[in-house]
Amino acid sequence: MDRYMPLTGIDLIPASLLIDTQAPLDVLQAMADYRIRTVTQVLENIAFRAEIGCDTVVLSDFSKLLAIPLRDGCDLMGVIGRRLRAQGAK
């Protein structure tokens, strides 16, 4: 695994947002947790509102916005999984 991995969805070369795949596991987990919990909190706030007065375009844009930190969190969890599997294989 390369030391620095670009976040998913960034197709520019060179990528400017990278994950340090050799960062301590607790740091990677904390960053994934932060991103996933933030998205979860926002989605829960929307889901439990009594009334949502947004049109389809706003909700579509909002869901695209929330997908970014969720995907980042999943990328971080993927790095953690690969590192843990590599440790187990040793």
Query: What residue spans define the domains of the chain?
Result: 23-89
- Measured at the CA of 41, the angle between CA 63 and CA 20, to 5 degrees, comes to 80
**How large is the average pLDDT for residues 37-48?**
87
Contact in structure between 39 and 23 (CB atoms under 8 Å): no
- In whole angstroms, what separates CA 6 from the centre of its chain? 12
State the pLDDT confidence band at 25, using cuts at 50, 70 and 90.
very high
Tell whether the model's pLDDT for residue 88 goes beyond 90. Answer: no
Beta-bridged to residue 18, according to DSSP, are 6
pLDDT of residue 52: 64
Q: What is the pLDDT of residues 47-82, one digit of tens each?
A: 787 676 667 777 788 888 899 999 999 999 999 999
